[in-house]
Amino acid sequence: MFDLKFIRENPDAFDAALARRGEEAQSASILSMDEEHRAILTEAQNAQARRNEASKMIGRAKGQGNEEEAQALMAEVSELKGKIAELEEQERTVGEKLNTLLMSLPNAVYDDVPEGDDEDANEEVRTWGTPRQFNFEPKEHYDLGETLDGMDFERAAKLSGSRFVILKGAIARLERAIGQFMIDLHTGEHGYTEVWTPALVRESALLGTGQLPKFGDDAFTTDTGHWLIPTSEVTLTNIHSGEILDEAELPIRMTAHSQCFRSEAGSAGRDTRGMIRQHQFEKVEMVSVTTPEQSDDELERMTGCAEEVLKRLELPYRLVKLCTGDIGFGARRTYDIEVWLPGQGKYREISSCSTCGDFQARRMKMRCRPKGEKQTRFVHTLNGSGLAVGRTLIAVMENYQEADGSIRVPEALKPYMGGIEVIGGEA
């Protein structure tokens, strides 16, 4: 969400920022509504002040025995009461219209974000690891999983429809091991506090992080007015919504291993086989709340924490900086980590790490201030996958597969596998 004061003082810069996002200029519409809104507020305040003044004058007129003046003042107060109610309704209507427009606009990106319309313009930052050379044709994860009787898409579809999976046996344990390994790494070595949060939230939580109002079609809702979280970024970031935090306590770093739910609106025909794009999946999320001065360094740190998961699992990956046409709605700068999938013969996204500046903090009214001072300012928020658990399972299966269809367990995961070192082969 944007600062109206900034738009008033810098309309051209604001429109230029939107243009980088491929959005039309909006400053004229916003400032017109803002002017109308402020005019209504001023008129309502003046009417209220006159009503208060006239109410006091009624008592004085009656005290002086001037009944005619008292009656005239009472009639004026009654008229003002109706006018104030009308103005308050107008103020609500215009204010909601202005707020809806502001809430629907994407965040302004940093100057170093590459220009481009789609992922082809993303900028490669670095690569790590060398893709394994196979002496056989590597299979995709769903072929491996079905052969090992560890993935069942057909029965999952019977239960729930498309884009669901049932995991069984050692494959189910492998996914659980991956999630546990990530949480242990982030809490034990990276300084994140583990948090367990609800999977159902109120609409205000999704408004706060930017999934609503624009992306409601990609989320599941219930008949109770709750929404299923598309990521625990929603709950972790909103924990401190509406609060004023002590700057000495920042940064706050939190991580959660949660179920996530997405309708995958607009993804028809994409990744229809396998676990790449599911309606229900698991993810380990990292969220940081920082001062404005800390956020740039925190993004680099958070990205490094996500990368470390892949390094420990010895999975080749590349890091890319997203361009203006591919970056997320609420982000100012985003790094995507793409892991090598030999079954597909290409890199696929496994993590996004983003800094949102004060965009989310404004929406959820989250501020900070130095201890003992009165002046507050908005915090900065960051989020990153550390990592998507299901996609990490895919990467492990495809990179550690053998010619006989078995899967070796990475060294980092062996302590979590109860002695299983090879799935589908001799232990």
Known catalytic residues are 262, 277, 349, 352, 391
Burial of 85 (0-12, 13-18, 19+ CB in 10 A): exposed
User: Which residues make beta-bridge pairs with 287?
Assistant: 254, 383
Number of helices and strands (H, E) in the chain? 12, 17
- 254 forms beta bridges with 193, 287
Question: Which amino acid belongs to residue 117?
Answer: D
CA distances from residue 142 to 145, 273, 326 in whole angstroms, order as listed = 5, 7, 28
Q: What sign does the CA torsion over 354, 357, 359, 362 have?
A: positive
Measured distance CA(395)–CA(401) in Å, rounded:
10
Structure tokens at 294: 């800390």
Token pair 């965009």 is found at 359
Contact, 427 vs 421, CB < 8 A? yes
Q: How many CB atoms lie within 10 A of CB 157?
A: 14
Q: Which two tokens stand for residue 27?
A: 């400053």
The residues facing 152 across adjacent strands are 166
Question: Considering only CA atoms, which of 114, 112, 54, 46 is closest in space to residue 84?
Answer: 46
Q: Note if the bond before 251 is cis, omega within 30 degrees.
A: yes
The tokens describing 266, both together, are 């607009």
